Amino acid sequence: MATNRNGSVLAQSHFIGRVEYSKIYDNGTLVRNMIPCYRRSDLKPGMYDTVNNVFYTNSGSGEFILGPVVEESSRQLEYNQVYTSYENPGKLRLPSAYQEV
Protein backbone atom coordinates (compact mmCIF):
# COMPACT_ATOMS: atom_id res chain seq x y z
CA MET A 1 0.00 0.00 0.00
CA ALA A 2 1.10 3.54 -0.56
CA THR A 3 -0.08 7.12 -0.30
CA ASN A 4 -0.21 9.76 -2.98
CA ARG A 5 -0.54 13.28 -1.61
CA ASN A 6 0.35 15.35 -4.66
CA GLY A 7 -1.85 13.85 -7.39
CA SER A 8 1.02 12.36 -9.38
CA VAL A 9 1.11 8.77 -10.55
CA LEU A 10 4.02 8.00 -8.25
CA ALA A 11 3.50 6.78 -4.70
CA GLN A 12 5.17 8.86 -2.01
CA SER A 13 5.02 6.72 1.14
CA HIS A 14 4.91 2.94 1.17
CA PHE A 15 3.36 0.83 3.93
CA ILE A 16 5.10 -2.26 5.22
CA GLY A 17 3.31 -4.01 8.05
CA ARG A 18 0.45 -6.21 9.12
CA VAL A 19 -3.17 -5.40 8.34
CA GLU A 20 -5.81 -6.98 10.57
CA TYR A 21 -8.68 -5.15 8.86
CA SER A 22 -9.40 -1.84 7.19
CA LYS A 23 -12.61 0.16 7.31
CA ILE A 24 -13.30 3.14 5.08
CA TYR A 25 -16.14 5.54 5.81
CA ASP A 26 -17.71 8.20 3.59
CA ASN A 27 -19.53 10.85 5.64
CA GLY A 28 -20.15 8.36 8.44
CA THR A 29 -21.31 5.51 6.17
CA LEU A 30 -19.18 2.36 6.01
CA VAL A 31 -18.25 1.92 2.33
CA ARG A 32 -15.42 -0.66 2.63
CA ASN A 33 -14.79 -3.31 5.26
CA MET A 34 -11.61 -5.04 4.13
CA ILE A 35 -10.53 -8.32 5.73
CA PRO A 36 -7.18 -9.95 4.86
CA CYS A 37 -7.69 -13.45 3.49
CA TYR A 38 -6.83 -15.81 0.68
CA ARG A 39 -8.95 -17.43 -2.00
CA ARG A 40 -9.06 -21.14 -1.19
CA SER A 41 -9.17 -22.30 -4.83
CA ASP A 42 -5.72 -20.98 -5.73
CA LEU A 43 -4.32 -19.65 -2.41
CA LYS A 44 -4.28 -16.12 -3.86
CA PRO A 45 -3.85 -13.57 -1.03
CA GLY A 46 -5.93 -10.41 -0.94
CA MET A 47 -8.52 -8.38 0.94
CA TYR A 48 -12.23 -9.21 0.94
CA ASP A 49 -14.67 -6.30 1.18
CA THR A 50 -17.71 -7.53 3.12
CA VAL A 51 -19.73 -4.39 2.31
CA ASN A 52 -19.60 -4.91 -1.48
CA ASN A 53 -18.73 -8.64 -1.55
CA VAL A 54 -15.60 -8.11 -3.64
CA PHE A 55 -12.20 -9.81 -3.37
CA TYR A 56 -9.22 -7.53 -4.12
CA THR A 57 -5.72 -8.74 -4.94
CA ASN A 58 -2.61 -6.58 -5.02
CA SER A 59 -2.89 -4.13 -7.92
CA GLY A 60 0.67 -2.85 -7.58
CA SER A 61 3.97 -4.63 -7.83
CA GLY A 62 4.72 -7.69 -5.75
CA GLU A 63 2.23 -9.75 -3.82
CA PHE A 64 0.47 -9.71 -0.47
CA ILE A 65 2.15 -12.08 2.00
CA LEU A 66 -0.06 -14.49 3.90
CA GLY A 67 -0.06 -14.47 7.67
CA PRO A 68 -1.30 -17.31 9.88
CA VAL A 69 -4.85 -18.56 9.46
CA VAL A 70 -7.31 -17.05 11.92
CA GLU A 71 -9.35 -19.64 13.74
CA GLU A 72 -13.06 -18.84 13.64
CA SER A 73 -13.58 -19.38 17.36
CA SER A 74 -10.81 -16.93 18.25
CA ARG A 75 -12.44 -14.15 16.23
CA GLN A 76 -16.10 -14.74 17.11
CA LEU A 77 -16.10 -12.39 20.11
CA GLU A 78 -14.34 -9.73 18.05
CA TYR A 79 -16.85 -10.14 15.20
CA ASN A 80 -19.72 -9.69 17.61
CA GLN A 81 -18.14 -6.50 19.00
CA VAL A 82 -16.86 -4.95 15.76
CA TYR A 83 -19.43 -5.85 13.12
CA THR A 84 -22.64 -4.49 14.55
CA SER A 85 -25.91 -4.95 12.70
CA TYR A 86 -26.05 -1.37 11.41
CA GLU A 87 -22.56 -1.62 9.86
CA ASN A 88 -22.66 -5.09 8.41
CA PRO A 89 -26.09 -6.73 8.66
CA GLY A 90 -26.04 -10.46 7.96
CA LYS A 91 -22.40 -10.44 6.82
CA LEU A 92 -20.44 -11.55 9.86
CA ARG A 93 -18.17 -13.97 8.05
CA LEU A 94 -16.31 -14.32 4.78
CA PRO A 95 -17.85 -16.52 2.08
CA SER A 96 -16.70 -20.14 2.30
CA ALA A 97 -14.43 -19.67 -0.77
CA TYR A 98 -12.12 -17.47 1.35
CA GLN A 99 -10.05 -18.02 4.48
CA GLU A 100 -9.20 -15.16 6.86
CA VAL A 101 -5.54 -14.69 7.77
pLDDT in tens, 44-98: 999 999 999 999 998 877 788 887 777 655 454 444 444 443 444 444 578 989 9
Read off the pTM: 0.67
Q: What is the residue range of 22's domain?
A: 2-100
Tell me which residue of 41, 59, 44, 54 sits closest to 94, measured CA to CA: 54
pLDDT in tens, 68-77: 777 655 454 4
Please, which residues bridge with residue 38 across strands?
45, 99
pLDDT in tens, 5-55: 666 666 666 667 777 888 989 999 999 999 999 999 999 999 999 999 999
Please, which residues bridge with residue 36 across strands?
47
Q: What is the DSSP letter of 23?
A: E
How many domains is the chain built from? 1
